[in-house]
Structure 1
Amino acid sequence: MDELVDILDENGKLTGKTCLKSEAHRKGYFHPTIHVWFYTSDGKVLFQKRGANKDTFPGLWDVSVAGHIGAGEDVIEAAIREVEEEISLVIKPKDLEKIGCFKSVHEHSKVLVDKEFHHTFLCEMKIPLPKLIKQESEVDALELIDLTTFKFNVEHNQLAGFVPNDSGYYTKIIEEISQRL
């Protein structure tokens, strides 16, 4: 779905301009997104397998929930909306713990340059995996992966099948979740 997004400068600050998400990707404009990483009290992390029809990283394992922030939309409201849309889980603002905002640049092709600032949150998952309902148009599968397994894969650069995020980003996620277990 194409939606209006805010255009950011290279430091993540609002420029006061907006455009459609498709235009931001086509022209390589920075824009804001949310990432919500769900973890369980027994040390597992929820990953989603991106839909095969996605423009970017189809069929790869990715953050639990991710999405674009609409123009003028509050970051927390966007996170809550995306969680409900992608995995049918209703959460409250107090459930989200912001751990940072991370710059990301992926040039997929000459006409698809994804420049984003990921407002990144942690959220403890308190319901069993089978109770989640994935958004069929966006998500092919959901899986809980042991944090120690994911950490080993990151440390040994064994991330085939995962979205190629910077290893420093993945390391930060692992550290933040580890502190809460």
Structure 2
Amino acid sequence: MSAADEVLDVVDRDDRVTGQAPRGEVYARGLLHRCVFVLARDAQERIFVHRRTASKLVFPSHYDMFVGGVLGAGESYGEAALREAEEELGVQGLPQPEPLFKFLYEGPGGAWWSYVHEVRCELPVAPQVSEVDWHTFLTREELDRRVGDGEWDWVPDGLEAYRRLRARRDSRQ
């Protein structure tokens, strides 16, 4: 089965399931669906950053500071966060990612409910080659510099999630 054939839950603006459709149809028709973002930190608190493969359906060859993806039909945000983190990082045995906040992303690429999580990954990573073209771990300062310098094309939904995460953390200090 191709990624475009994967069945997703279609949701409304209150994140209630209203039906199901194949991913390709969801994207083509701009239907609301669900997505998870997982910020993965290593033992030194550095953040996993990667460039998506050119074959991705959404934002190919863009950089991202989150691993994650869409929820399959009937899948919970927590289940998807752990599944996506382990798949994209190429590891097994991660702790359950910590849920942080949820928001409705509306921007380039469409609109979807986005649940941001965080996980510590102290295991050696072997990113999924079908998802990740290049990767590294950056300090928060290095990541902020890369976000600000405009040299890398960032996925817009991940960038929005990161800005919201930074604003939440900055407001607590």
TM-score, normalisation: structure 2: 0.83
- Give the Cα separation in 2 of the matches to 1:30 and 1:59: 23
Unaligned runs of 5+ in 1: 109-113
* 1:97-153 Cα distance to aligned partner (Å, 9 max, x none): 111112223445xxxxx32111110011223xxx21111111111211220122344
* Amino acid aligned to 1:158: G
Cα gap change, 1:159 to 1:8, in 2 (>3 Å): farther
Q: Which digits, 9 at most, give the CA deviation of each residue in 1:74-98, with x for residues without a partner? A: 2211122212222222245x53111
Question: Equivalents in 1 of 2:66, 2:161: separation in Å?
Answer: 14
1:10 equivalent among 6, 9, 13: 13
1:28 aligned residue: 30
Name the counterpart of 2:76.
Answer: 74
What is the identity percentage for the equivalent residue pairs of Structure 1 and Structure 2?
A: 24
How far apart are 1:8 and its partner, in Å? Answer: 0.8
**Cross-structure match for 1:134:** 127
* Contact kept? 1:4, 1:20, Cα under 8 Å: yes
The structure 1 residue matched to 2:152, chosen from 146, 160, 165, is 160
Please give the root-mean-square deviation of Cα atoms over the aligned residues, in Å: 2.5
Which consecutive segments of 4 or more residues in structure 1 shift more than 4 A? 175-179
Deviations 1:39-84 (A, max 9, x none): 2353421012100111221111113311111111122111222122
Aligned to 2:161: 169
What number of residue pairs does the alignment pair up?
A: 168
The structure whose residues are more often strand, as a share, is: 1
Report the counterpart of residue 117 of structure 1 in structure 2.
Answer: 113
